[in-house]
Structure 1
Amino acid sequence: MLNEEKIKLMTKLAIYEKNIGYKDFEVNEYFKHDYILKNNLKTRIFVTLACAMLFGGHALLEIFVFLEERQSIDFIRYGLTYGALYLVIIICYSILSTKIYATEYKETQLRLSGYKKVLKKLNQFSEESH
């Protein structure tokens, strides 16, 4: 005989697994520190690439202006400016991404604890029927 409550629990589990559960299971494979570190590394790589493109474009612009006006370029000043800007940007993005991924990990753990509670209820129904 079918138990309506058991069917509801199984449906709830299936919906969770289909919609967001697969991502939660992937996140749960990592310890919190490792998850944050992995995603911080990805953030730093993309920020570095973006800065390289922006700074490279600005440097090319300065070179073209130098060639047209026949002035000298102060490479040390530009290098220090780019370096300082890069450090500020990378530190800000690192702090921001650490907070974002820590919150994401915490929310994932909360959802998974709810998932485990529903699984436990479902197991209780299975044990009662035997």
Structure 2
Amino acid sequence: MLNNQKIKKMHKLAVYESGEGKKHLAISNYYRSDYIGLALIKNFFLTTIAYGLLLMIYFGYRSEYFMENIHKMNLVFMAAEVIGLYIILLVAYSILTYVYCSVKYSKAQKGIQEYYRGLTQMKKAYDREERRNGRITGRRTKE
């Protein structure tokens, strides 16, 4: 006999597993520190690439000015300014990445805990049903 509550619970678990659960299960394979560390490493490389591209665009756009005034410029100050701006940008994006990944990881953990709680409830329901069917038909269940 079909039990509507079990069907609803199975449907809810299946929807979670095929949707958000896929991402959450992938995230939960990591320890928190490993997940955030990996995200910060990706952030470092992506920020460096993006900053390099922005510098190339800026210096390409301003190349005529730089060629005419290179002898008047303080190149050490300009290099320090470029490096300082890079460090500020890297720190800012690293902080944002850390906060974002921490929140994402905690949401994934909560979702996974709820998912496992639902699976445990389903298993208990099936065990109860199996015991009940074993008593009705007169069979003994393995314990």
TM-score higher than 0.5 here? yes
C-alpha distance in structure 2 between counterparts of 1:98 and 1:109, whole Å: 16
**Count of paired positions:** 129
Counterpart of 1:47 in structure 2 is 47
Aligned partner of 1:77 in structure 2 is 77
Structure with larger Rg? 2
3-state SS of 1:30 partner: coil
TM-score, structure 1 as length reference:
0.91
Which one has the bigger helix percentage?
1
Q: How does 1:22-37 map to 2 (within 5 A)?
A: 22-37=22-37
Unaligned runs of 5+ in 2: 131-143
User: What's the CA shift for 1:61?
Assistant: 3.7
Give the fraction of aligned pairs with identical amino acids, expressed as a percent.
Answer: 26
Provide the secondary structure at the position in 1 that maps to 2:19. helix
Query: Is residue 2:93 matched to residue 1:93?
Result: yes
Deviation at 1:62, TM superposition (A): 4.1
Q: Cα RMSD (Å) of the superposition?
A: 1.4
Aligned position for 2:111: 111
Instruction: Give me the whole-angstrom Cα distance separating, in 2, the residues matched to 1:66 and 1:38.
Output: 39
